[in-house]
Homo-oligomer: A and B are copies of this chain.
């Protein structure tokens, strides 16, 4: 997507054809800095230290990490070493495993001397597929925004939670893809950006993406969305999904459920944008999804830019106070107006999903 009018992706092959570029997302929104990955170890560090985050981008970085590793050693042992190393970078990331296994299965059957070139084209293909998938989600979601605009003939107010933007994928994003498509289509927009405590991905990343793209937006405390809906100041909600059950329950960033409740209470359409790869076809009850409890420090401390420009970590609670940090929640399908997938928009139900994905029936 665009940063001050120039097109970027979140990851790219550098012009030398041998190294890979990324944006250091830990420095956003205060500093925009790109980093050149020279080795598989650099890719591991980028994933582990969260210079890149978001399941699709982690997968893409791992794919390029295999390419970087094979340039050092393209033997069977070299391939094995780089795959093991990358898989250990963030052990719970499903897309990371998926991307590494895809690379391995393509490359293992080739003679070592062909592996570097093949890894380059396979990583590039994986990224290209991610871009096309997200662009398709954007096109599908655009129809929902267009419909609202044609009816209301005024700027459309969209609320989003967390960051499901292009920074989380290779390009376009999921929840933000329809917004970028609507901007391109000339529809006037205004986005309410939930700051998304405790890690503030809304304030840090979504606000930055929208500012860079020149899309009108306001940052709000996570507490605000409910009353904004009561006041009629939200036309629709679009959020992402980390995992979706075959019955349409949505596991997403903590706080999503509260916004879905408010949307239902105020008859505001609540959409979830997701690539079908996040659908767990074996699971029907969202409450069966184990919810990660993350470190207390994420709640007790806040990162930000001090007046002298330095990035500081400040404590917001008393020394004796402990915290609890659920990373995700589950929004039951009954609160979801529709799922925006690459194949179309469907009801959040088994029947709705099977209409779009009959091969899963």
Contacts and interface: CB of A to CB of B under 8 A. Distances in A.
A347 B225 CA distance: 27
B222 A222 contact: yes
A211 interface: yes
A299 B220 contact: yes
Interface stretch (A109-117, A147-155, A318-326): A318-326
B226 A329 contact: yes
Contacts of A315: 30, 304-305
B219 A197 contact: no
A339 B354 CA distance: 47
A324 B220 contact: yes
Interface string A40-62: 00000000000000000000000
Given A218-B323, A304-B302, A223 B258 contact: yes
A297 to B, nearest CB: 11
Given A227-B330, A321-B211, A255 B312 contact: no
A257 interface: yes
Interface stretch (A65-73, A87-95, A201-209): A201-209
B219 A222 contact: no
Contact of A255 (B223, B253, B325, B330): B223
Contacts of A267: none
B326 A227 contact: yes
- Give this chain's copy count: 2
Given A207-B317, A303-B314, A197 B218 contact: no
Nearest to A161: B223
A219 B198 CA distance: 11
A288 interface: no
A316 B302 contact: yes
A265 B261 contact: yes
Contact of A320 (B211, B230, B303, B304): B211
A302 B305 CA distance: 10
A219 B330 CA distance: 21
A230 B254 contact: no
Contact of A227 (B254, B302, B318): B254
B322 A254 contact: no
Interface of A: 29-30, 192-193, 195-198, 200, 203-204, 207-208, 210-211, 217-228, 230, 253-255, 257-259, 261-262, 265, 287, 291, 299-307, 312-318, 320-326, 328-330
